Amino acid sequence: MPVFVTDEEGADGGMSGESESVTNFSGTPAWWSTQILTEVVRSDDGVGDLLRLLRERGRRAFFIVDDALACQPAFKPILEQEEIFMFRASDSEPRTGDVDQLVAMLRDKKNPPDAVAGVGGGSTMDLAKAVGICVANPKPAEAYQGYGLDMKRGSEIWVLPTLSGTGAEVTPIAVLRGPEKKLGINNSFTAPTVAVVDPRLSAGVPKFNRFYTMMDCFFHHYEITKSRTSAHDAVGDSIKGLEMARSVLSRDLAVYDPDAAITSAMASVLGGSSSIGGRVGVSHAISYGLSNSSPKLPHSVAVTISMLACRDVYDGGGYDDTVGFLETNGMPLPRAADYGIGESHIAKMTATALGMEKLWQSHFGDDWRGIVDSGFVQDIYKRIVAA
Ligand code: NAD
Ligand code: ZN
């Protein structure tokens, strides 16, 4: 059985995860406090455990798998499954049209599977989560982008994350790009039933994604710790997650490192748990405007660009860390212009961002309208397109 070893004995009761002597990740006690809807299986044989547990619980799964895994021998037993769809996450984050296509395919089956298993990063897990719930609901997926919509429970959803940071492995959210907007299906039936977490499955992730998805994790934790409307438990999980994300991003992530992978996987779960009851803030509000104006801009890069333009909002804190992490990793400052975003998009981006009312309230409190108006938001986007 593979073994995880770090060279220090933990002095902090495993709080950071990094300095804990992790000899067997599968024995790690729960490190989150917020109550989550997902059973988190800590594993040192993620592929084997996923297939074994599905079998033991009598589930026949339809697998949705990130196609970047097709050439990695560790995933061979999954690739040999009969019912499988390979999703090209490198082309696009999941679209409502992808969900509709897969739902139609499942509905056409004479003997439909009773579980959908997503194997990949946040994009692939969210696609599986959206398919799992939408299969039981009659309208196209875009009709369910939003909050508080009446939906029926669908198939069981199982996930095997292969890239750490989004927390999608435990959230009741499936973020989708729709014809109108990028927005999640937010519904408790979207939460995975089971997440099998094996940090080593991220070994083949390119540096760019290892870095940027952890940046998203850092921003989730950072913004929740600065939020005025987040629940106590959520902030507690984010304080832990922030320390972990910082420790990972403060090293050069060029080469896969098992210790950093474990810390990243733990920080990612905390990112998910803290988002239940926790709320992100300004960088995320700004990022949604950017994402809606550029179909190819990854979410993690959009939030980074946003934080770089929000130095004043966060009194330099998030900004200074962001610049430091980019420097340590030899990454150039990301620019909106590289993703086709310019002056002409400012009006639309401003309208999108202003619509994220809960996120402004999260950062500025109930009187946010006294501070945030279209001029305030436009100024941020002007800085972004001029960078
Ligand atoms: P991703 O899933 O888009 O993957 C990024 C790249 O990494 C892709 O090219 C993919 O093929 C590759 N990849 C993944 N695992 C790999 C592996 N083991 N080996 C080699 N390549 C691998 O990236 P992400 O940052 O994890 O997810 C982004 C999406 O998640 C966005 O749509 C974002 O909005 C969403 N998101 C969702 C939640 C949620 O709670 N549901 C939270 C935050 C973000
Ligand atoms: Zn995010």
> Which of 125, 126, 176 should be mutated for ligand 1, with most atoms under 8 A from CB?
126
CA of 117 from ligand 1 middle (Å) equals 15
- For residues 257 and 313, give the distance between their C-alpha atoms in angstroms, rounded to a whole number: 34
Q: Is residue 180 packed enough to be buried (19+ CB in 10 Å), middle (13-18) or exposed (0-12)? A: exposed
Number of H helices, E strands in the chain: 13, 9
Residue nearest to atom 39 of ligand 1 (CA): 168
Phi-psi region of 161 (alpha: psi -120 to 50; beta: other; left: phi over 0): beta
Ligand showing the shortest atom-to-Cα distance for residue 87: 1
Place of tokens 């030899």: 330
Nearest to 125 by CA among 87, 74, 177: 87
Nearest to 185 by CA among 144, 240, 156, 230: 144
CA of 299 from ligand 2 middle (Å) equals 6
At residue 4, φ and ψ (nearest 5 deg) are -100, 130
CA 137, 142, 143, 145 torsion-angle sign: positive
CA 45, 51, 57, 62 torsion-angle sign: positive
The atom of ligand 1 lying closest to the CA of 121 is 2
**Angle formed at CA 140 by CA 134 and CA 141, multiple of 5 degrees:** 55
The atom of ligand 1 lying closest to the CA of 94 is 32
Residue nearest to atom 30 of ligand 1 (CA): 122
Around ion ligand 2, residues with a beta carbon closer than 5 Å are 216
Neighbours of 305 (CB within 10 A): 24
- For residues 203 and 164, give the distance between their C-alpha atoms in angstroms, rounded to a whole number: 11
pLDDT of residue 23: 52
Nearest to 322 by CA among 300, 295, 350: 300
Written as six digits, the tokens of 31 are: 């490190």
Neighbours of 69 (CB within 10 A): 23
Residue nearest to atom 27 of ligand 1 (CA): 122
With contact defined as beta carbons under 8 Å apart, do 147 and 185 qualify?
no
| DSSP code for 229 | S
User: Domains of the chain, with CATH numbers?
Assistant: 20-202 (3.40.50.1970), 207-386 (1.20.1090.10)
pLDDT digit string (tens) for the chain, length 387 residues: 333 323 222 223 333 443 343 457 999 999 999 999 999 999 999 999 999 999 999 999 999 999 999 999 999 999 999 999 999 999 999 999 999 999 999 999 999 999 999 999 999 999 999 999 999 999 999 999 999 999 999 999 999 999 999 999 999 999 999 998 899 999 999 999 999 999 999 999 999 999 999 999 999 999 999 999 999 999 999 999 999 999 999 999 999 999 999 999 999 999 999 999 999 999 999 999 999 999 999 999 999 999 999 999 998 889 999 999 999 999 999 999 999 999 999 999 999 999 999 999 999 999 999 999 999 999 999 999 999
CA of 375 from ligand 2 middle (Å) equals 24
Dihedral through CA 270, CA 175, CA 249, CA 330, nearest 10? 180
**Angle formed at CA 289 by CA 284 and CA 295, multiple of 5 degrees:** 105
CB distance 98 to ligand 1 below 6 Å = no
CB distance 300 to ligand 1 below 6 Å = yes
Written as six digits, the tokens of 345 are: 């998009």
All residues at 6 or more sequence positions from 94 whose CB lies less than 8 Å from its CB, including other chains: 87, 123, 124, 126, 127, 130, 174, 175, 176, 177
Residue nearest to atom 2 of ligand 1 (CA): 121
- For residues 272 and 173, give the distance between their C-alpha atoms in angstroms, rounded to a whole number: 10
CA 186, 297, 266, 44 torsion-angle sign: positive
- Beta 173-177 vs 182-186: how paired, if at all? antiparallel
β-pair partners for 63: 84, 117
- Beta 39-42 vs 146-147: how paired, if at all? unpaired
